[in-house]
A and B are shown apart, each in its own frame.
Chain A
Amino acid sequence: MTTTTLKSAYVRGVIAGSPFILVIIPFASLFGLLAAEAGLNVIEALVFSLVVIAGAAQFTALQLMQEEAPTIVVLASALAVNLRMAMYSASLTPFIGSAPLWQRAFAAYLTVDQSYVVAVAKYEKEPQMTVPQRMGYFFGAVTPIVPLWYIFTVVGALLGAQVPDSWALDFAIPITFLAMIAPMFRTLAHVVAAFVAVVVSLLAAGVPYSLGLIIAGVAGMIAGAATEKRLEQRAGTAP
Protein backbone atom coordinates (compact mmCIF):
# COMPACT_ATOMS: atom_id res chain seq x y z
CA MET A 1 0.00 0.00 0.00
CA THR A 2 2.68 2.45 1.09
CA THR A 3 4.89 1.47 -1.83
CA THR A 4 2.11 2.33 -4.29
CA THR A 5 1.59 5.81 -2.82
CA LEU A 6 5.37 6.32 -2.75
CA LYS A 7 5.67 5.21 -6.32
CA SER A 8 2.83 7.51 -7.38
CA ALA A 9 4.47 10.44 -5.53
CA TYR A 10 7.66 9.70 -7.44
CA VAL A 11 5.82 9.46 -10.76
CA ARG A 12 3.93 12.69 -10.10
CA GLY A 13 7.29 14.31 -9.38
CA VAL A 14 8.69 13.07 -12.69
CA ILE A 15 5.68 14.53 -14.52
CA ALA A 16 5.98 17.88 -12.71
CA GLY A 17 9.70 18.10 -13.45
CA SER A 18 9.50 17.13 -17.11
CA PRO A 19 8.61 20.56 -18.60
CA PHE A 20 12.07 21.65 -17.50
CA ILE A 21 13.63 19.24 -20.00
CA LEU A 22 13.09 22.03 -22.55
CA VAL A 23 15.18 24.37 -20.43
CA ILE A 24 17.90 22.06 -19.23
CA ILE A 25 18.91 20.78 -22.65
CA PRO A 26 19.85 24.19 -24.11
CA PHE A 27 21.24 25.44 -20.80
CA ALA A 28 23.52 22.43 -20.24
CA SER A 29 24.59 22.42 -23.89
CA LEU A 30 25.49 26.07 -23.62
CA PHE A 31 27.64 25.39 -20.57
CA GLY A 32 29.38 22.57 -22.43
CA LEU A 33 29.97 24.83 -25.42
CA LEU A 34 31.38 27.68 -23.35
CA ALA A 35 33.53 25.28 -21.33
CA ALA A 36 34.97 23.88 -24.57
CA GLU A 37 35.59 27.39 -25.85
CA ALA A 38 37.36 28.19 -22.58
CA GLY A 39 39.71 25.27 -23.20
CA LEU A 40 38.19 22.62 -20.92
CA ASN A 41 38.16 19.08 -22.28
CA VAL A 42 35.01 16.93 -22.18
CA ILE A 43 35.97 15.19 -18.92
CA GLU A 44 36.66 18.48 -17.16
CA ALA A 45 33.36 19.96 -18.34
CA LEU A 46 31.47 16.86 -17.22
CA VAL A 47 33.11 16.74 -13.80
CA PHE A 48 32.33 20.44 -13.38
CA SER A 49 28.63 19.75 -13.99
CA LEU A 50 28.65 16.56 -11.88
CA VAL A 51 30.28 18.16 -8.85
CA VAL A 52 28.56 21.54 -8.89
CA ILE A 53 25.18 21.14 -10.73
CA ALA A 54 24.40 24.85 -10.58
CA GLY A 55 24.15 26.51 -13.97
CA ALA A 56 24.41 30.17 -13.02
CA ALA A 57 27.33 29.56 -10.62
CA GLN A 58 29.15 27.46 -13.24
CA PHE A 59 28.76 30.20 -15.85
CA THR A 60 30.03 32.78 -13.36
CA ALA A 61 33.07 30.70 -12.41
CA LEU A 62 33.92 29.98 -16.04
CA GLN A 63 33.64 33.64 -16.98
CA LEU A 64 35.85 34.81 -14.11
CA MET A 65 38.48 32.12 -14.70
CA GLN A 66 38.73 33.25 -18.31
CA GLU A 67 39.28 36.78 -17.05
CA GLU A 68 42.06 35.31 -14.87
CA ALA A 69 40.45 36.57 -11.67
CA PRO A 70 42.16 35.35 -8.44
CA THR A 71 40.92 31.87 -7.44
CA ILE A 72 39.42 33.15 -4.21
CA VAL A 73 37.40 35.77 -6.13
CA VAL A 74 36.16 33.09 -8.52
CA LEU A 75 35.02 30.91 -5.63
CA ALA A 76 33.46 33.72 -3.62
CA SER A 77 31.55 35.11 -6.61
CA ALA A 78 30.23 31.76 -7.77
CA LEU A 79 29.19 30.84 -4.23
CA ALA A 80 27.45 34.21 -3.85
CA VAL A 81 25.46 33.38 -6.98
CA ASN A 82 24.52 30.15 -5.21
CA LEU A 83 23.60 31.74 -1.87
CA ARG A 84 19.94 31.36 -2.78
CA MET A 85 20.44 27.60 -2.33
CA ALA A 86 20.80 28.20 1.41
CA MET A 87 17.46 30.01 1.32
CA TYR A 88 15.93 27.07 -0.55
CA SER A 89 17.40 24.71 2.04
CA ALA A 90 15.84 26.73 4.85
CA SER A 91 12.53 26.83 3.02
CA LEU A 92 12.51 23.04 2.49
CA THR A 93 13.47 22.22 6.08
CA PRO A 94 9.94 22.39 7.58
CA PHE A 95 8.78 19.92 4.91
CA ILE A 96 11.59 17.37 4.70
CA GLY A 97 13.66 18.07 7.84
CA SER A 98 12.63 14.78 9.47
CA ALA A 99 13.64 12.56 6.55
CA PRO A 100 16.66 10.25 7.07
CA LEU A 101 20.00 12.06 6.91
CA TRP A 102 21.21 10.25 3.78
CA GLN A 103 18.04 11.28 1.93
CA ARG A 104 18.46 14.88 3.04
CA ALA A 105 22.10 14.83 1.92
CA PHE A 106 21.10 13.39 -1.44
CA ALA A 107 18.29 15.95 -1.79
CA ALA A 108 20.74 18.73 -0.89
CA TYR A 109 23.07 17.69 -3.71
CA LEU A 110 20.06 17.69 -6.05
CA THR A 111 18.64 21.05 -4.96
CA VAL A 112 18.50 23.29 -8.02
CA ASP A 113 16.07 26.09 -8.91
CA GLN A 114 13.84 23.68 -10.80
CA SER A 115 13.62 20.89 -8.24
CA TYR A 116 13.10 23.41 -5.46
CA VAL A 117 10.26 25.27 -7.14
CA VAL A 118 8.49 22.09 -8.26
CA ALA A 119 8.76 20.55 -4.81
CA VAL A 120 7.84 23.54 -2.68
CA ALA A 121 4.84 24.40 -4.86
CA LYS A 122 3.53 20.87 -4.32
CA TYR A 123 4.27 20.76 -0.57
CA GLU A 124 2.39 24.02 -0.05
CA LYS A 125 -0.55 22.88 -2.13
CA GLU A 126 -0.83 19.47 -0.45
CA PRO A 127 0.18 19.87 3.19
CA GLN A 128 -1.14 16.39 4.03
CA MET A 129 1.70 14.70 2.09
CA THR A 130 3.86 12.45 4.27
CA VAL A 131 7.60 13.02 4.50
CA PRO A 132 8.43 9.87 2.47
CA GLN A 133 5.96 11.01 -0.20
CA ARG A 134 7.61 14.43 -0.25
CA MET A 135 11.03 12.86 -0.72
CA GLY A 136 9.65 10.58 -3.45
CA TYR A 137 8.16 13.59 -5.19
CA PHE A 138 11.44 15.51 -4.91
CA PHE A 139 13.52 12.68 -6.35
CA GLY A 140 10.90 12.26 -9.07
CA ALA A 141 11.17 15.93 -10.00
CA VAL A 142 14.95 15.76 -10.44
CA THR A 143 14.87 12.52 -12.45
CA PRO A 144 14.11 14.16 -15.82
CA ILE A 145 16.32 17.18 -15.04
CA VAL A 146 19.67 16.29 -13.51
CA PRO A 147 20.79 13.41 -15.80
CA LEU A 148 20.14 15.68 -18.79
CA TRP A 149 22.30 18.34 -17.15
CA TYR A 150 25.23 15.91 -17.24
CA ILE A 151 24.50 14.46 -20.66
CA PHE A 152 24.02 17.76 -22.46
CA THR A 153 27.10 19.28 -20.85
CA VAL A 154 28.98 16.54 -22.68
CA VAL A 155 27.01 17.05 -25.89
CA GLY A 156 27.72 20.80 -25.79
CA ALA A 157 31.40 20.22 -25.07
CA LEU A 158 31.63 17.76 -27.97
CA LEU A 159 29.76 19.97 -30.42
CA GLY A 160 31.91 22.95 -29.57
CA ALA A 161 29.92 25.05 -32.05
CA GLN A 162 27.65 27.93 -31.17
CA VAL A 163 23.86 27.58 -31.02
CA PRO A 164 22.50 30.37 -33.25
CA ASP A 165 21.53 33.44 -31.22
CA SER A 166 18.34 33.71 -33.26
CA TRP A 167 16.91 30.76 -31.28
CA ALA A 168 16.67 33.12 -28.31
CA LEU A 169 17.30 30.20 -25.95
CA ASP A 170 18.57 32.64 -23.33
CA PHE A 171 14.93 33.39 -22.62
CA ALA A 172 13.85 29.82 -21.90
CA ILE A 173 14.87 30.27 -18.28
CA PRO A 174 12.87 33.43 -17.46
CA ILE A 175 9.78 32.02 -19.18
CA THR A 176 9.83 28.71 -17.33
CA PHE A 177 10.43 30.34 -13.96
CA LEU A 178 7.60 32.82 -14.48
CA ALA A 179 5.32 30.01 -15.60
CA MET A 180 6.21 27.99 -12.49
CA ILE A 181 5.84 30.86 -10.07
CA ALA A 182 2.59 32.41 -11.33
CA PRO A 183 0.31 29.66 -9.93
CA MET A 184 1.95 30.15 -6.51
CA PHE A 185 0.47 33.64 -6.07
CA ARG A 186 -2.39 32.58 -3.84
CA THR A 187 -2.68 35.49 -1.42
CA LEU A 188 -2.01 39.22 -1.39
CA ALA A 189 1.10 38.48 0.69
CA HIS A 190 2.59 36.40 -2.14
CA VAL A 191 1.99 39.21 -4.62
CA VAL A 192 3.51 41.82 -2.30
CA ALA A 193 6.57 39.59 -1.69
CA ALA A 194 7.17 39.15 -5.42
CA PHE A 195 6.54 42.81 -6.23
CA VAL A 196 8.97 44.08 -3.59
CA ALA A 197 11.58 41.49 -4.59
CA VAL A 198 11.34 42.50 -8.25
CA VAL A 199 11.61 46.23 -7.51
CA VAL A 200 14.59 45.74 -5.20
CA SER A 201 16.31 43.36 -7.65
CA LEU A 202 16.08 46.02 -10.38
CA LEU A 203 17.35 48.74 -8.07
CA ALA A 204 20.17 46.50 -6.82
CA ALA A 205 21.12 45.13 -10.25
CA GLY A 206 24.46 46.93 -10.05
CA VAL A 207 25.50 45.34 -6.74
CA PRO A 208 28.51 43.09 -7.46
CA TYR A 209 28.72 39.28 -7.17
CA SER A 210 24.95 38.80 -7.61
CA LEU A 211 24.40 39.95 -4.04
CA GLY A 212 21.57 42.14 -5.33
CA LEU A 213 19.55 38.94 -5.72
CA ILE A 214 20.01 38.00 -2.08
CA ILE A 215 19.12 41.52 -0.91
CA ALA A 216 16.02 41.47 -3.13
CA GLY A 217 15.02 38.00 -1.94
CA VAL A 218 15.30 38.94 1.72
CA ALA A 219 13.38 42.20 1.12
CA GLY A 220 10.60 40.27 -0.63
CA MET A 221 10.41 37.69 2.16
CA ILE A 222 10.18 40.42 4.81
CA ALA A 223 7.46 42.19 2.82
CA GLY A 224 5.51 38.95 2.38
CA ALA A 225 5.75 37.99 6.05
CA ALA A 226 4.75 41.51 7.17
CA THR A 227 1.74 41.49 4.84
CA GLU A 228 0.67 38.06 6.08
CA LYS A 229 0.86 39.24 9.68
CA ARG A 230 -1.09 42.41 8.88
CA LEU A 231 -3.81 40.40 7.13
CA GLU A 232 -4.04 37.97 10.04
CA GLN A 233 -4.37 40.79 12.55
CA ARG A 234 -7.08 42.39 10.45
CA ALA A 235 -8.93 39.08 10.19
CA GLY A 236 -8.51 38.58 13.96
CA THR A 237 -10.04 41.94 14.88
CA ALA A 238 -12.96 41.58 12.46
CA PRO A 239 -16.26 40.71 14.15
Chain B
Amino acid sequence: MIDKTTLWIVIIGLGLGSFFLRFVFTGLVGDRAMPPWLLRHLRYTAVAVLPALVAPQVLWPTATGGETDPSRLAAAAAALAVGLITKNVIGAMLAGGCTLYGMLYLLG
Protein backbone atom coordinates (compact mmCIF):
# COMPACT_ATOMS: atom_id res chain seq x y z
CA MET B 1 0.00 0.00 0.00
CA ILE B 2 1.34 3.41 -0.95
CA ASP B 3 2.03 5.72 1.97
CA LYS B 4 -0.35 8.72 1.84
CA THR B 5 2.28 11.33 2.65
CA THR B 6 4.55 9.98 -0.10
CA LEU B 7 1.62 9.98 -2.51
CA TRP B 8 0.81 13.65 -1.91
CA ILE B 9 4.45 14.72 -2.07
CA VAL B 10 4.74 12.92 -5.42
CA ILE B 11 1.50 14.36 -6.80
CA ILE B 12 2.40 17.94 -5.87
CA GLY B 13 6.08 17.64 -6.75
CA LEU B 14 5.33 16.01 -10.07
CA GLY B 15 2.67 18.62 -10.84
CA LEU B 16 5.00 21.54 -10.14
CA GLY B 17 7.94 19.90 -11.92
CA SER B 18 5.88 19.03 -15.00
CA PHE B 19 4.50 22.54 -15.19
CA PHE B 20 7.99 23.96 -14.98
CA LEU B 21 9.17 21.70 -17.85
CA ARG B 22 6.21 22.75 -19.99
CA PHE B 23 6.58 26.46 -19.20
CA VAL B 24 10.36 26.79 -19.22
CA PHE B 25 10.65 28.04 -22.82
CA THR B 26 7.23 29.44 -23.74
CA GLY B 27 7.10 31.26 -20.40
CA LEU B 28 10.65 32.35 -19.75
CA VAL B 29 11.94 32.90 -23.29
CA GLY B 30 8.63 34.21 -24.60
CA ASP B 31 8.99 36.45 -27.64
CA ARG B 32 12.73 37.00 -27.32
CA ALA B 33 14.41 35.86 -30.52
CA MET B 34 16.13 32.50 -30.33
CA PRO B 35 19.33 31.86 -32.29
CA PRO B 36 18.85 30.41 -35.81
CA TRP B 37 20.86 27.25 -35.06
CA LEU B 38 18.51 26.49 -32.15
CA LEU B 39 15.40 27.10 -34.26
CA ARG B 40 16.84 24.83 -36.92
CA HIS B 41 17.08 22.03 -34.35
CA LEU B 42 13.68 22.70 -32.82
CA ARG B 43 12.01 22.22 -36.20
CA TYR B 44 12.76 18.51 -35.84
CA THR B 45 11.49 18.05 -32.26
CA ALA B 46 8.20 16.40 -33.20
CA VAL B 47 9.52 14.12 -35.95
CA ALA B 48 12.39 12.98 -33.70
CA VAL B 49 10.82 12.63 -30.24
CA LEU B 50 7.51 10.95 -31.12
CA PRO B 51 8.95 8.19 -33.35
CA ALA B 52 11.61 7.60 -30.66
CA LEU B 53 8.83 7.35 -28.07
CA VAL B 54 6.89 4.69 -29.99
CA ALA B 55 9.71 2.69 -31.63
CA PRO B 56 10.49 0.51 -28.58
CA GLN B 57 6.75 -0.07 -27.99
CA VAL B 58 6.36 -1.18 -31.61
CA LEU B 59 9.26 -3.62 -31.53
CA TRP B 60 8.97 -4.80 -27.94
CA PRO B 61 5.39 -4.24 -26.72
CA THR B 62 4.84 -4.47 -22.95
CA ALA B 63 1.55 -6.28 -23.56
CA THR B 64 3.40 -9.30 -25.01
CA GLY B 65 6.07 -9.18 -22.33
CA GLY B 66 8.50 -7.48 -24.69
CA GLU B 67 8.27 -10.12 -27.40
CA THR B 68 8.04 -8.79 -30.96
CA ASP B 69 4.49 -9.26 -32.20
CA PRO B 70 3.78 -9.53 -35.96
CA SER B 71 0.28 -8.03 -35.54
CA ARG B 72 1.53 -4.90 -33.81
CA LEU B 73 4.45 -4.57 -36.21
CA ALA B 74 2.12 -4.80 -39.21
CA ALA B 75 -0.33 -2.33 -37.63
CA ALA B 76 2.43 0.21 -37.06
CA ALA B 77 3.69 -0.22 -40.62
CA ALA B 78 0.16 0.19 -42.01
CA ALA B 79 -0.50 3.37 -40.01
CA LEU B 80 2.83 4.84 -41.08
CA ALA B 81 2.47 3.87 -44.74
CA VAL B 82 -1.11 5.16 -45.10
CA GLY B 83 -0.13 8.35 -43.27
CA LEU B 84 2.85 8.91 -45.55
CA ILE B 85 0.92 8.24 -48.75
CA THR B 86 -2.43 9.88 -48.02
CA LYS B 87 -1.37 12.52 -45.44
CA ASN B 88 -4.70 11.64 -43.80
CA VAL B 89 -4.44 11.18 -40.04
CA ILE B 90 -7.78 9.45 -39.50
CA GLY B 91 -7.23 7.17 -42.49
CA ALA B 92 -3.85 6.20 -41.07
CA MET B 93 -5.34 5.48 -37.63
CA LEU B 94 -8.08 3.34 -39.15
CA ALA B 95 -5.54 1.46 -41.29
CA GLY B 96 -3.46 0.75 -38.19
CA GLY B 97 -6.44 -0.29 -36.08
CA CYS B 98 -7.97 -2.55 -38.75
CA THR B 99 -4.60 -4.17 -39.45
CA LEU B 100 -4.07 -4.81 -35.74
CA TYR B 101 -7.47 -6.42 -35.15
CA GLY B 102 -7.39 -8.25 -38.49
CA MET B 103 -4.00 -9.77 -37.76
CA LEU B 104 -4.84 -10.58 -34.14
CA TYR B 105 -7.98 -12.34 -35.37
CA LEU B 106 -6.21 -14.26 -38.14
CA LEU B 107 -3.26 -15.27 -35.99
CA GLY B 108 -5.55 -16.15 -33.09
- Give A residues with C-beta under 8 Å from B: 19, 22, 38-40, 44, 47-48, 51-54, 57-58, 61, 65-66, 71, 74-75, 78-79, 82-94, 96-98, 101, 104-105, 107-109, 111, 113, 116-117, 120-121, 124, 165-166, 168, 170-185, 189-190, 193-194, 196-198, 200-202, 205, 213, 216-225, 228-229
**Cβ–Cβ contact A104 & B55, under 8 A:** no
Contact B47 A220 (CB under 8 A): yes
Query: Residues 62-86 of chain B: 1 if any A CB is under 8 Å from the residue's CB, otherwise 0?
Result: 1100000001100110011111100
Chain B: interface residue total (CB-CB under 8 A): 74
- Is the pair A193, B96 in contact by a Cβ cutoff of 8 Å? no
Known: A91-B45, A178-B83, A182-B92. A97 touches B32 (CB 8 A): yes
CA separation between A47 and B44, bound complex, in Å?
A: 34
Which B residues are in CB contact (< 8 Å) with A201?
A: 51-53, 55-56
Output the least CB separation between A157 and chain B (Å).
14
Q: Can you list 21 contacts pairing A with B, beta carbon distance less than 8 Å?
A: A57-B14, A61-B14, A71-B9, A78-B17, A79-B17, A85-B18, A86-B21, A88-B22, A89-B27, A90-B25, A91-B43, A97-B26, A168-B63, A168-B71, A178-B80, A178-B83, A193-B48, A197-B48, A205-B56, A220-B47, A223-B44
**Contact with A52, one of B15, B47, B59, B60 (Cβ below 8 angstroms):** B15
Minimum CB–CB distance from B88 to chain A (whole Å) comes to: 7
* Chain A residues touching B, majority SS: helix
Chain B residues whose C-beta falls within 8 Å of the C-beta of A108 in the assembled complex: 19, 22-23, 26-27
The CA of A213 and the CA of B56, in the complex, are separated in Å by: 10
Residue of B nearest to A95 (CB): B26
Residues of B within 8 A of A (CB): 1-2, 6-7, 9-15, 17-19, 21-27, 29-32, 34, 37-63, 71-72, 75-76, 79-84, 87-90, 92-93, 96-97, 100-101, 104
| Bound-complex Cα distance A65 to B2 (A) | 6
Tell me which residues across on chain A come within 8 A of B50, comparing CB atoms: 113, 117, 177, 180-181
CB <8 Å contact, B39 and A190 = no
Among the interface residues B1, B40, B87, B100, which one has the most CB atoms of the partner chain A within 10 A? B40
Contact A75 B56 (CB under 8 A): no
Partner of B93, one of A92, A170, A176, A228: A176
